[in-house]
């Protein structure tokens, strides 16, 4: 990010400095040349695999629990 690009310029020490790989702005960053597809692929490859921490829950279980608690999801 440089100062010439007024749309994206935020000082690096700012708390609102955007994450370049944020999916909400990734396509825009790719289109404007601020990010390359190679960088995105490398970033996704380097993400840790947290599948062992996941809990598989079926939709019917979640809806039944919510209904029993009176949340009225249905």
Instruction: For the chain, give percent helix, strand, coil, nearest 5.
Output: 40, 0, 60
Q: Quick one: pLDDT at residue 71? A: 59
Q: Quick one: pLDDT at residue 10? A: 66
Provide the residue range defining the domain that includes 1.
1-46
Q: Quick one: pLDDT at residue 36? A: 94
Query: Taken in order 43, 45, 49, 51, is the CA torsion positive or negative?
Result: positive
Tell me, yes or no, whether 7 lies in a domain.
yes
Q: What is the pLDDT of residues 13-71, one digit of tens each?
A: 777 777 888 888 899 889 988 899 999 999 999 999 998 998 888 888 877 765 556 55
Tell me, yes or no, whether 2 lies in a domain.
yes
Tell me, yes or no, whether 70 lies in a domain.
no
CA–CA–CA angle 19, 9, 45 (5° rounding) = 25
Tell me, yes or no, whether 65 lies in a domain.
no
Q: How many domains does the chain have?
A: 1
Q: What is the pLDDT of residues 33-43, one digit of tens each?
A: 889 999 999 99
Tell me, yes or no, whether 68 lies in a domain.
no
Local structure of residue 18 (DSSP, 8 states): P
Q: Quick one: pLDDT at residue 61? A: 80
Tell me, yes or no, whether 28 lies in a domain.
yes
Query: Taken in order 13, 16, 21, 25, is the CA torsion positive or negative?
Result: negative
């Amino acid at each position: 990010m440089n100062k010439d690009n007024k749309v994206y310029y935020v000082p690096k020490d700012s708390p609102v400095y955007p994450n370049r790989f944020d999916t909400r702005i990734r396509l825009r960053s790719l289109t404007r040349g601020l990010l390359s597809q190679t960088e995105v692929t490398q970033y996704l490859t380097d993400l840790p695999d947290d599948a062992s921490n996941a809990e598989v829950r079926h939709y019917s279980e979640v809806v039944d629990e919510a209904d029993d608690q009176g949340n009225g999801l249905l």
